[in-house]
């Protein structure tokens, strides 16, 4: 296995994050949200690991992701959290995949296929993305009752949009209260699963429901950069690359496309064979840093498609082939998380993780056995 740019995922950290979270909300079953290829960690491998740890529910964003899990032998309940064209009613049914009913219109059109699909009803309590309007609980009740005759309704849920912001607690409480009102009205239908918690909700909100949809914290990142995670929650993913070349440049020389970096003195430059086609964000040009030989080294010049340059002046013995940490920590206490990187370029850790492209191989570490997939 040659090394250019790769990701190492520590399976033991994923397990430990799950256990820590589970202890925090022991009233609930956990639905592991493994959409977007498990936030870039590899959905099949992560789902298998979690299934071995007793997780029986998986959340995905679309039908393809659901089928990918079935192909990997995942046997639990798989919920598509978003839109599937209704014409796939039969595929959903045949693969025992649960579909979210996102609106009354969706329910009506899905019903026309005459298939008793497993569904969860989404309730909109203020995010205004998908779901039946919770401000009309009577209407919600009517719709759910009507379609409960046509579908197997196994769940009802809502999504919290500011559960990660303590100063917005009032809004979150209002969302949960409105959701409760709807749930109470359909109590007689004995709907098995009631859920509203995401990672943030499960940690910091009044807990409600019997299932929590756990995403980002499973992977060890924060819903919001300001959040303080429970102790021992750690990022599972490390992104590494290598030094491909080292050179000395003179004061006044420039580096990279557009000559956006100019050396103020003679410096030593190292090239890293990772670029924005790998998902290493171009906004990090002249901004970000990497960890090499126990030191932080600044990015200089623009990130290219497949390479970028760093300033290694004063760092000893930097050579072709040396390992570089793009995301992760070294034994010297240097660290850069996806959350730190995201904060530098005004996005969120979620986007950094999902953005690590297919070109970057994922390697799994489990009790120090490394395997490639």
Which residues are known to be catalytic? 35, 257
Per CB under 6 A, the list member of 33, 50, 156, 191 interacting with ligand PLP is: 33
- The answer to whether 223 contacts ligand PLP (rule: CB under 6 A) is yes
Alpha helices of the chain — where are they, by DSSP H? Answer: 11-24, 35-39, 43-52, 63-71, 89-94, 104-111, 137-148, 169-185, 199-204, 338-344, 349-355
Q: How far is the CB of 56 from ligand PLP (least distance, A)?
A: 16
Nearest CA to 284 among 343, 222, 361?
Answer: 343
Residue nearest to ligand PLP (CB): 215
213 contributes a contact to ligand PLP by CB under 6 A: yes
* DSSP states of 264-316: SS-EEEEEES--GGGT--GGGTTT-EEEETTEEEEEES---SS-EEEE-TT-T
Is 215 near ligand PLP (CB under 6 A)? yes
Q: C-beta of 111: minimal distance to ligand PLP in Å?
A: 23
CA-to-CA separations, 258 to 274, 285, 304, in angstroms, rounded:
19, 11, 11
Q: Does 155 bind ligand PLP (CB under 6 A)?
A: no
Site size with ligand PLP, rule: CB under 6 A: 12
Interacting stretch for ligand PLP, rule CB under 6 A, among 14-22, 184-192, 212-220, 299-307?
212-220
| Residue 342 sits in the site that holds ligand PLP (CB under 6 A) | no
Interacting residues with ligand PLP between 159 and 188 (CB under 6 A): 159
Nearer to ligand PLP, 35 or 180 (CB): 35
**Angle, alpha carbons 89-126-141 (nearest 5°):** 55
Using CB under 6 A as the binding rule, whether residue 81 contacts ligand PLP is answered as: yes
**211 in contact with ligand PLP (CB under 6 A):** no
Q: Enumerate the β-bridge partners of residue 239.
A: 7, 327
Gap between the Cα atoms of 102 and 82, Å rounded: 7
Q: Which residues of this protein are in contact with ligand PLP, per CB under 6 A?
A: 33, 35, 81, 159, 198-200, 213-216, 223
């Amino acid at each position: 296995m040659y090394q250019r740019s790769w990701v190492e995922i520590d399976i033991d950290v994923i397990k430990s994050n799950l256990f820590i979270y589970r202890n925090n909300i022991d009233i609930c079953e956990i639905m592991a949200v493994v959409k977007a290829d498990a936030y870039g960690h590899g959905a099949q491998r992560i789902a298998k690991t979690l299934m071995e740890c007793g997780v029986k529910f998986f959340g995905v964003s679309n039908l393809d992701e659901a089928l990918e899990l079935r192909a990997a032998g995942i046997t639990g309940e798989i919920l598509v959290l978003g839109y599937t064209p209704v014409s796939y009613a039969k595929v959903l049914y045949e693969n025992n995949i649960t579909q979210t009913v996102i609106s009354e219109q969706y329910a009506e059109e899905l019903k026309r296929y005459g298939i008793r699909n497993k569904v969860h009803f989404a309730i909109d309590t203020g995010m205004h993305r998908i779901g039946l309007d919770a401000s009309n609980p009577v209407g919600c009740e009517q719709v759910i009752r009507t379609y409960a005759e046509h579908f197997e309704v196994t769940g009802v849920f809502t999504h919290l949009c500011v559960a990660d912001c303590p100063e917005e607690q009032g809004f979150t409480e209002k969302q949960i209260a409105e959701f409760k009102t709807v749930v109470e009205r359909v109590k007689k239908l004995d709907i098995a699963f009631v859920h509203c918690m995401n990672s943030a909700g499960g940690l910091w909100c009044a807990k409600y429901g019997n299932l929590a949809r756990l995403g980002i914290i499973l992977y060890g990142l924060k819903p919001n950069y300001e959040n303080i995670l429970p102790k021992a929650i750690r990022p599972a993913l490390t992104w590494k690359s290598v030094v491909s070349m080292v050179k000395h440049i003179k004061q006044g020389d420039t580096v990279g496309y557009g000559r956006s970096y100019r050396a103020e003195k003679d410096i030593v430059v190292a090239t890293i064979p990772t670029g924005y086609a790998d998902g290493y964000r171009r906004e990090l040009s002249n901004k970000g840093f990497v960890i090499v030989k126990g030191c932080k080294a600044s990015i200089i010049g623009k990130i290219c498609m497949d390479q970028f340059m760093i300033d290694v002046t004063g760092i000893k013995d930097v050579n072709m082939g040396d390992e570089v940490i793009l995301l992760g920590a070294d034994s010297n206490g240097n660290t850069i998380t996806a959350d730190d990187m995201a904060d530098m370029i005004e996005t969120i850790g979620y986007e950094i993780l999902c953005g690590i492209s297919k070109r970057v191989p994922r390697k799994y570490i489990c009790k120090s056995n490394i395997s490639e997939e």
